[in-house]
Amino acid sequence: MPTAKLNAEPAPKIKRRVLNRDKLEAEIAAEAVRVFAECGYEGTSIATVAENAGLSKQNLMYYFPTKQALYQRVLDDVLDEWLDRMENLAAGDQEPREVLRTYVQAKLKFSREQPWASRVYAMEVISGAQLYGAQIQNRVVPLVRKDIEVFEKWISDGRIAPINATHLLFAIWAMTQSYADFSAQMALVLNRKQLTKKDFDDAEKVIVDMVLAAISVPQPVCGDAR
Amino acid sequence: MPTAKLNAEPAPKIKRRVLNRDKLEAEIAAEAVRVFAECGYEGTSIATVAENAGLSKQNLMYYFPTKQALYQRVLDDVLDEWLDRMENLAAGDQEPREVLRTYVQAKLKFSREQPWASRVYAMEVISGAQLYGAQIQNRVVPLVRKDIEVFEKWISDGRIAPINATHLLFAIWAMTQSYADFSAQMALVLNRKQLTKKDFDDAEKVIVDMVLAAISVPQPVCGDAR
DNA sequence: GTCTATAATGGGATAGAC
DNA sequence: GTCTATCCCATTATAGAC
């Protein structure tokens, strides 16, 4: 049986290996994101990640020479995925109400489909973004500022009620992300093992209602809105 | 000079020491909460906490025999402080709008004054509440359920618009807590070193506006609210 | 209660054979 | 690229003198 291998062509080998390497790195990062989310950066051992990914610790370190490199790759992937879904949502001349509804839906979808991604990112920010602050500054902040400008344009065009656009966006983020980050606590309150699709639908309705109600108030009248 | 000490009374010594011990433990926990918030559970070394608290590592372990014991004490203190501020807010027969405004204000105040407390708690929940889930179940969930019942009573009494009370509460939590947990990212967006009192005032206005607008919608009319 | 000394473990990282 | 073996360091925790 070994004789069949004698004249194997070595030509595509290199390319195949490169492709495999990219794929393997992506698989390792996909496993790592869960471990980092559950255990934190220091609580994560590369041995655990390697085991989950089905290779040896030393072999993992061939692909990611240091733990930090793996962590940065994980955060890079998280940000790539998130930006892919969020970019250009506020582009075009759609109705503000539809844009906001779509925005909330997209963020909730991310929380439901990629809870570990959201959690790793959250833990990094909560602990001061010491390792990833520069990337957030370079990649996230500009996008956020653009979204805020869109909101403010809507306000100056009289298409939505006057409201602090920055804090409105903070509020939308907070409400949608919490369904990934704090789902453990929510599940306890709702008395389930984990959140269901219906919970996310209920959440969407409440959040969209709140956001649309906030931008619909015609004016700060009556001295009622504080 | 040493002679003056010869006849020192030993009577109150025991009590003094007990009081000092309580005080010292509280001081250690107060330092620990910052370190746990910045470094995570595994990232925190008791040596660092001891240094911040001004005693030796071994001495700290006289008061807290294990790292877990210190961590649990920190979370206990966080919860005590939080429950102290939050309890009985929804009691009495005040106007729903005033109760909600006060609730939001109290939560934001906690985020501003005890950001580390909020962050330690958040990290524990994000990583699945593996160590503190039972306490959350016993001490937090009942209080939350009570708040939800108050909301639902308001709805059935026609004092506020019909809305999913559970998710409304989740939304309020998320929006207010995020000003502690994600302040690092917010500061980057706002281009400051840290959030200011004015930022919290702006946040309060937006959050209160959103909540009050959401409970003011008379009915789900027009097929507009989805 | 506070100190010195030390055990014991785990984990990140490197070296080198195959 | 994958394996075995190993180094080195940080850290939790304990023992025991004072």
Whole-angstrom distance, CA of residue A31 vs CA of residue B61 = 36
Smallest Cβ–Cβ distance between A127 and the set B40, B137, B209 belongs to B40
Query: In this structure, are residues B182 and A198 in contact, taking their beta carbons and an 8 Å threshold?
Result: no
Give Cα A156 distance to the centre of its chain: 31
Q: Is residue A114 part of a domain?
A: yes
Smallest Cβ–Cβ distance between B175 and the set A174, A182, A224 belongs to A174
Q: What is the pLDDT of residues B123-140, one digit of tens each?
A: 999 999 999 999 999 999
Q: What is the pLDDT of residues A30-65, one digit of tens each?
A: 999 999 999 999 999 999 999 999 999 999 999 999
CATH number at residue A73: 1.10.357.10
Q: How confident is the model at residue A87, as a pLDDT?
A: 80
Which regions in chain A score pLDDT beneath 50?
1-3, 6, 10-11, 220-226
CB atoms within 10 A of CB A165: 20
Q: What is the pLDDT of residues B95-120, one digit of tens each?
A: 999 999 999 999 999 999 999 999 99
Residue of B nearest to A136 (CA): B185
Query: In this structure, are residues A159 and A110 in contact, taking their beta carbons and an 8 Å threshold?
Result: no
Q: Is residue B86 part of a domain?
A: yes
Domain count, chain B: 1
Q: How confident is the model at residue A8, as a pLDDT?
A: 52
Q: Is residue A2 part of a domain?
A: no
pTM here? 0.91
Residue B117 lies in domain? 11-215
Q: Is residue B1 part of a domain?
A: no
Residue of A nearest to B178 (CA): A174
CB contact under 8 A, B212 and A225: yes
Q: Is residue B192 part of a domain?
A: yes
Q: Is residue B35 part of a domain?
A: yes
Q: How confident is the model at residue A164, as a pLDDT?
A: 98
Residues with CB under 7 A from strand C: A 44-47, 57-58, 61, 65-68; B 17-18, 20-21, 55-56, 58-59, 62
Whole-angstrom distance, CA of residue B9 vs CA of residue B48 = 36
Q: Is residue A170 part of a domain?
A: yes
pLDDT band for position B89 (50/70/90)? confident
Q: Is residue B189 part of a domain?
A: yes
B209 touches chain A (CB under 8 A): yes
Residues 14-43 of B with CB under 8 A from A: 37-43
Q: Which of residues 187-206 of B touch strand D (CB under 7 A)?
A: none
